[in-house]
Amino acid sequence: MVDITHDTVHRVYTKKHPALLIMGIIFVAIAYLADSGGMSGLIGYLSAKKYVGEMVAMGYAFGAIGVIVGAWHLLGTHEEGNLDYYLSTVAGCLFILLVAMIVRWYVAPWIAVLSKGMGPVMGAKYLHQVLGLNYVVLGILAGIVIVNVFRIPEWAENGVRLSRLGLKTGVILLGTLYSLAELQSLGKLSAVMVGVFVLGSVGMVLWLGRMRKIPNSMGGVLSAGMGVCGVSATVAAAPVVQAKAVEIAYTIGTILIWGVGCMFIFPIIGHVLDLGHIQFGAWAGTGILNSAQVAGAALAYQPDGIETLKVAEIFNITRVLFLPIIVLWLAVWYVRLEGGESTQQVNVGTVIFEKFPVFVLGFILMFALSSTGVFAPAQHYKGKFFDNNIKAEKMLKDKQVATLTAEAGKLQRDDRKKALASLIKNKKVMSIDDETIVRGIYNAKILSKGANKVLKSATKSVRHTAKMIKKFRQWITLLFAFGLTGLGMQITFAAMKQAGGQPLVIGGIVGTTKAVAALIVILMFVRETI
C-alpha cells in the first residue's frame, strides 16, 4: 500500500482555456464598433445612444484586462498560490460582466422596442415596464438560464462565486451617497416598520412551528431566516438552536424560492399600483429577505436611478441590525423549551460577532466618512442658500406660479405651506430645507399632476450634483448589475428543491402575510420621500 497520509495536495486554480482571451477580444470589438460608428444603425434602432460612452470605456478597459490576463491563462505557467487563485477568478467575473452588459446594452433595449411596438397596455405604460423587463431582471433571468440549462463552465466557477462580493461592495459604497437628513428621516421610519415586521415574523414562524409540530431547531432557524435577513440570519441562528444540516438546507431553500419570486413579482405589483420610490423601497426592504434580493427588486423597479435602491437598503440594513436581538431571543427560547442536558452551551456573543454581516459595518463607516465631507458633500449643494444668480430660464414662469398659487390651499402642514409660499414668492427654491419639503409635497401626490410637474422642475433647477457624483452613482448601478447577474448564475433548481414540505408551507404563509401587511401599511401611511 502507498501511504498518502502525509502527502500535500497542491491545487492550481487557473484553467488553460482561451475563453478569457476571447471575451477580452469581444469587449474590445464592442468598444471599437461603438466608438467608430460601426454600430450606429443598431444603436439607433435600439435607442441605446445613452450607452455608447459605457460601451467605449468599459469595452476598452475590460477588453484589455481580458486580453492580457487571458493570454497568461492560455500560455502562462501556473503555480499554486494566492496570485493563481485571484487571477483564476478574472475569467468568471468577465463572463458575468459580458452577459450583464450584453443584456443592458442590447437585449433590454430590444425588448423595449418590441414592447413599444405593441402599444401601451396600462395607460401610458408599456408591457416591458409593467412586467419590469429591464436589464436588471433580464440579467438575473439570463444567469438562471445559463446555470440551469448550460451550467457554469469550470473556468468561470471561481469568478461566479465572487459575484456576491460585488453586491456587498455596492451596498457599502451606497453609504457615501446618503445625506444626514435622508438617513434621519428614513432611519426613523425603517426602525418602526422593520421592528414590527421582524419581531412579528419571527414570532409567527415560532407559533406556526409549534402548531405544525416541527422540531424546535427547525422552527428557530426558519424564524431567523424568514424574519430577519435570509441566509445570513439562518447561519447566525443555527448554532444557538442546534439546527441540523438538513434543517439549514430546508430554510435556505425556502428563502431562495420566496426571494426569487419576490424579485420578479414585487416590481410588477409596484408598477400596477404606481408606488413612489420610498413606498416601493420601504416595501422591498421590509418584505423581501436577502440583501441581494432586495437590491434586485429595487433596481428592477427603477433600473436607471438609485433613489429606490437607497430607500430599500436603509430598510434592509435596519433589519440586519435586529440580528443580535433575534439571536439572543432564539437562544433563550430554545433553552427554555429544550432544557438542561439536551442543549449545548453556545457563546451567543461569539456567534453574533462571527456571523454579523460585515457589509453593514462598511456601509455605516462610509456614511460616517461622507457626513464629514471626506468623499463629497453629502447634501450635494453649494451651501445653505442657493446662488442668487440662477439663470432666468431656470426660474418658474408666471403661468407655473399661477398653477401653484391656485392649489396652495390643498396643503395642511405649516412647513409645506411656508416652503410653497417661499417658492411662489422667489420663483425658485431658496434653501436645502425648503427643497426637501418641496420634494416631499410632490412625492406625496397632494397636488395635481400639473402642479407636481412644476414642483419637480423647480427642485431640478437648483440641485447641484457634481459630475463625479453622477459617475459614481452610475458605477454603483453597474456594480449591482454585475452582482445580480452573477446571483442569477447561482440560483439552481436543485437548491430550490431543498425546501422541505413543512418549512415551505410555514415560510409561504409568513412571507405572504408579511408582504401583504407591509404593503397595506405603506399604502396607508407612507406618502413622501426625501
Q: Is residue 11 part of a domain?
A: no
Is residue 495 within 8 Å of 257, Cβ to Cβ?
Answer: no
**pLDDT tens digits along 133-179:** 888 889 989 999 999 998 898 899 888 988 888 888 888 888 777 76
Q: Which of 65-79, 110-124, 513-527 has the lowest mean pLDDT?
A: 110-124
Who wins on pLDDT, 82 or 463?
82
Q: Which of 74-83, 219-228, 284-293, 504-513 has the lowest mean pLDDT?
A: 74-83
Give the range with max mean pLDDT: 61-65, 80-84, 263-267, 438-442: 61-65
Q: What is the pLDDT of residue 11?
A: 64
372 shares its domain with 399: no
Residue 482 has pLDDT above 50, yes or no: yes
Round the average pLDDT of the chain to a whole number and report it: 82
Q: Which of 138-152, 175-189, 251-265, 428-442 has the lowest mean pLDDT?
A: 175-189
Q: What is the pLDDT of residue 111?
A: 93
Give the range with max mean pLDDT: 183-192, 342-351, 446-455: 446-455
Residue 458 has pLDDT above 60, yes or no: yes
pLDDT, average across residues 436-445:
81
92 shares its domain with 239: no
Going by pLDDT thresholds of 50, 70 and 90, the confidence category of residue 516 is very high
Q: Is residue 6 part of a domain?
A: no
Please report, rounded to a whole number, the percentage of residues in the chain having pLDDT higher than 70: 84
Of 129, 161, 193, the position where a domain reaches its end is 161
Residue 467 has pLDDT above 50, yes or no: yes
Nearest Cα to 328, choosing from 447, 239, 436? 239
CA angle (274, 277, 280) in 5-degree steps: 70
Of 101, 132, 161, the position where a domain reaches its end is 161
Nearest Cα to 227, choosing from 207, 260, 205, 246? 205
Q: Which of 134-138, 399-403, 459-463 has the lowest mean pLDDT?
A: 459-463
- Using DSSP, state whether 179 is helix, strand or coil: coil
288 shares its domain with 207: yes
Contacts of 71 (CB under 8 A, 6+ apart): 21
Q: What is the pLDDT of residue 386?
A: 40
95 shares its domain with 222: no
- Cell digits of residue 210: 409549534
- Structural domains in the chain (count): 3
Q: Is residue 7 part of a domain?
A: no
Q: Which of 2-6, 58-62, 101-105, 200-204 has the lowest mean pLDDT?
A: 2-6
Who wins on pLDDT, 199 or 122?
199
Residue 495: give the domain boundaries: 173-377+471-525
**What is the spatial distance between Cα 187 and Cα 208, in angstroms, rounded to a whole number?**
31
Give the range with max mean pLDDT: 48-57, 441-450, 494-503: 48-57
Who wins on pLDDT, 380 or 198?
198
State the sign of the Cα–Cα–Cα–Cα dihedral 324, 330, 331, 336: positive
295 shares its domain with 443: no
CA atoms within 13 A on the CB side of 522: 29
**pLDDT tens digits along 8-31:** 445 667 878 899 999 999 999 999
Nearest Cα to 484, choosing from 320, 271, 266, 259? 259
Q: Is residue 186 part of a domain?
A: yes
Nearest Cα to 25, choosing from 15, 33, 36? 33
Residue 7 has pLDDT above 50, yes or no: no
Q: Is residue 37 part of a domain?
A: yes
Rg from Cα positions in the chain: 25
Residue 464 has pLDDT above 60, yes or no: no
Who wins on pLDDT, 151 or 386?
151
311 shares its domain with 197: yes
Q: Is 391 exposed, middle or buried (0-12, 13-18, 19+ CB in 10 A)?
A: exposed
Who wins on pLDDT, 530 or 197?
197
Q: Is residue 499 part of a domain?
A: yes
Give the range with max mean pLDDT: 144-148, 306-310, 378-382, 384-388: 144-148
- Left (φ > 0), alpha (ψ -120 to 50) or beta: where does 19 sit? alpha
DSSP 356: S
Q: What is the pLDDT of residue 124?
A: 67
487 shares its domain with 344: yes
**What is the spatial distance between Cα 457 and Cα 438, in angstroms, rounded to a whole number?**
11
Who wins on pLDDT, 185 or 100?
100
Of 134, 161, 188, the position where a domain reaches its end is 161
Going by pLDDT thresholds of 50, 70 and 90, the confidence category of residue 393 is low
Who wins on pLDDT, 255 or 69?
69
Nearest Cα to 318, choosing from 406, 426, 186? 186
- Other C-beta atoms within 10 Å of 76: how many? 13
Who wins on pLDDT, 320 or 177?
320
Who wins on pLDDT, 228 or 41?
41
Q: Is 291 exposed, middle or buried (0-12, 13-18, 19+ CB in 10 A)?
A: buried
292 shares its domain with 372: yes
**What is the spatial distance between Cα 222 and Cα 226, in angstroms, rounded to a whole number?**
6
Contacts of 503 (CB under 8 A, 6+ apart): 214, 218, 222, 247, 250, 251, 253, 254
Q: Is 417 exposed, middle or buried (0-12, 13-18, 19+ CB in 10 A)?
A: middle
Is residue 431 within 8 Å of 385, Cβ to Cβ?
Answer: yes
Q: What is the pLDDT of residue 358?
A: 77
Q: Is residue 387 part of a domain?
A: no
Residue 260 has pLDDT above 70, yes or no: yes
405 shares its domain with 489: no
pLDDT, average across residues 441-460:
83
Q: What is the pLDDT of residue 461?
A: 61
Q: What is the pLDDT of residue 378?
A: 43
Nearest Cα to 100, choosing from 127, 70, 57, 137? 137
Is residue 224 within 8 Å of 246, Cβ to Cβ?
Answer: no
Is residue 219 within 8 Å of 206, Cβ to Cβ?
Answer: yes
Going by pLDDT thresholds of 50, 70 and 90, the confidence category of residue 382 is very low
- Cell digits of residue 108: 433590454
Q: What is the pLDDT of residue 180?
A: 67
- Cell digits of residue 529: 420621500
Nearest Cα to 504, choosing from 297, 218, 197, 295? 218
- For residue 284, the one-letter residue type is A
Going by pLDDT thresholds of 50, 70 and 90, the confidence category of residue 110 is very high
266 shares its domain with 365: yes
438 shares its domain with 505: no
Contacts of 377 (CB under 8 A, 6+ apart): none
Q: Which of 254-268, 424-438, 464-478 has the lowest mean pLDDT?
A: 464-478
Q: Is residue 132 part of a domain?
A: yes
**pLDDT tens digits along 203-243:** 999 999 989 888 888 999 999 989 888 777 888 888 888 88
456 shares its domain with 334: no
